[in-house]
Amino acid sequence: MHEMSLAGGILQLVEDAARREKFVRVTRLRLEAGGLAGVEARSLRFALESMVHGTCLQDALIEIDEPPGTAWCLHCGGQVEIMSRADACPACGGFQLQPTGGTELRVVEMMVQDH
């Protein structure tokens, strides 16, 4: 399950930020896992929650937004929303889609306490 590795990376990123910015605790962590990122949000949440004990993320509210992917259709020239790389263009039914968004996993926001 690669979500465990991703969760470890997120935790490391947050702990590095805590040392650099001198905060002690994160009260809210908001992530974005795009529809084309290949990340299962429930598995990522489970992985994060299983490793936060004793870290600055312990007891933090973890939110994971899942925006749809976007793609440009080479056939009809439209910009469309898709949930999977295997989806057809909802406008023309074509399968020649170039992803343009929703491929990212990123930290969007952290609310922190400095003492």
Complete domains list, the chain, with CATH: 2-68+101-113 (3.30.2320.50)
pLDDT tens, residue by residue, 49-86: 999 999 999 999 999 999 999 999 999 999 999 989 99
DSSP-H helix ranges across 22-53:
41-51
Give me the residues paired with residue 64 across strands: 31
Contact assessment for residue 97 and residue 73, using Cβ atoms and an 8 Å cutoff: yes
pLDDT given for residue 1 in this prediction: 57
Helix (H) or strand (E) holding 6: helix 2-21
